[in-house]
Amino acid sequence: MDKLSVMNAFCRIVERGSFSRAAEDLGVSPALLSREVKLLEDSLGASLLTRTTRTMSLTDNGRLFYDEALGILGAVSQVEDRIRAGAGAVSGHLKVNASHSFGQMVIAPLLPDFLAQYPDVRLTLSLDDRVVDMIEGGFDVSIRIRSTMPDSALIARKIGTMRQRIFAAPEYLARNGTPKTPYDLEHHPVVGFLLADHLNSWRLNSPGGIVIVPLDPFVRVGNSLVVRDLLLAGLGVGTPDFISDAEEAKGTLVRVLPDHELPAPEIFAITGSRLGLDARVSAFLDHLSVALRR
């Protein structure tokens, strides 16, 4: 028995003074209402209504139940109204998880504008290069960069694509020569990204098709910012993904084999609910998506 539904029906019967009129309002049969009230009375062990062929009146217990039911239904309605209003408001505590490099280079710069636009949002940004348990960590959204997302109960929304190109410092290339073909890379030290799915080989897209180059990185690190810094120090070649843009613009890193790139992984926003995103998560992802398009 749905107690709230029965409460609502009982109150309607009392207010309309008739099973038939209440049934008409609720779109059900009078027989169904009569059966529900009987079940309610049986569960309470008390009569709520005194009925004759012509009249209906409340018992003392019926009056008590009616008064209390009105208060309960009113409180439930207020809670529902508050939740509906809050669901559309960009406010509350937003917990975001991302990798260190993506968090520092992409998310952190957009936070001042986001928080100025939504001053009622409290933000926690947790940076971790490991894949964390979102539910256990209590995160609203996690930003992950993957070629594909494995099947799971989590919901993945693609918000961007990341190019993967090969870079080196000009000083390194001046000392060691510039690779002319993909196979020349086998004679150059590679700075490998420990968490990449291409750690031991590069599957390069080129004008002539796909070229697979086996790798044995002499140093492997689990943070893209460290990959960038080691390349800046002239230790070899590598693919420091999105964090190389500023260095390329300054000329401190240059493209190697500019006609060749690794397959572009996707940037996913991971959430834990199949329901529509709440307002603060939607606002954050919209803000991030605009930044990624730029």
Please report, for the domain that includes residue 156, its CATH number: 3.40.190.10
pLDDT class of 26 with cuts at 50, 70, 90: confident
46 lies in a domain?
A: yes
Do residues 64 and 99 both lie within one domain? no
Whether 256 has a pLDDT exceeding 90, the answer reads yes
Domain boundary (53, 87, 121) is at 87
Give the C-alpha separation, 257 to 31, whole Å. Answer: 80
| Residues 131 and 197 occupy one common structural domain | no
CA 177 to chain CA mean position, Å: 45
Q: Do 231 and 171 reside in the same domain of the chain? A: yes
> pLDDT of 163-190, one tens digit each?
889 999 999 999 999 999 999 998 999 9
Last residue of a domain, one of 87, 110, 131: 87
Residue where a domain terminates, one of 87, 113, 130: 87
Q: What is the pLDDT, as a whole number, of residue 180?
A: 93
Reported as a pLDDT band with limits 50, 70 and 90, residue 86 is low
- Do 275 and 206 belong together in one domain? no
pTM for the whole structure: 0.64
Q: What is the mean pLDDT of residues 44-59?
A: 86
Whether residue 172 is found in the same domain as residue 247: yes
Which range of residues forms the domain containing residue 62? 3-87
pLDDT-based confidence at 82, cuts 50/70/90?
Answer: low
CA neighbours within 13 Å on the CB side: how many for 109?
A: 10
At 178 the pLDDT is 95
CA distances to 32, 46, 94, 114, 140 from 278, rounded to whole Å, are 38, 44, 10, 16, 10
List, in order, residues 6 or more apart from 5 with CB less than 8 Å away.
none
| Structural domain contains residue 260 | no
Name which of 273, 57, 34 is nearest 154 in CA terms: 273
Residues contacting 178, CB < 8 A, separation 6+: 256
In this structure, is residue 157 part of a structural domain? yes
Contacts of 149 (CB under 8 A, 6+ apart): 156, 266, 268, 270
pLDDT over 60 (residue 212): yes
Residue 146, pLDDT above cutoff 90: no
DSSP 132: P
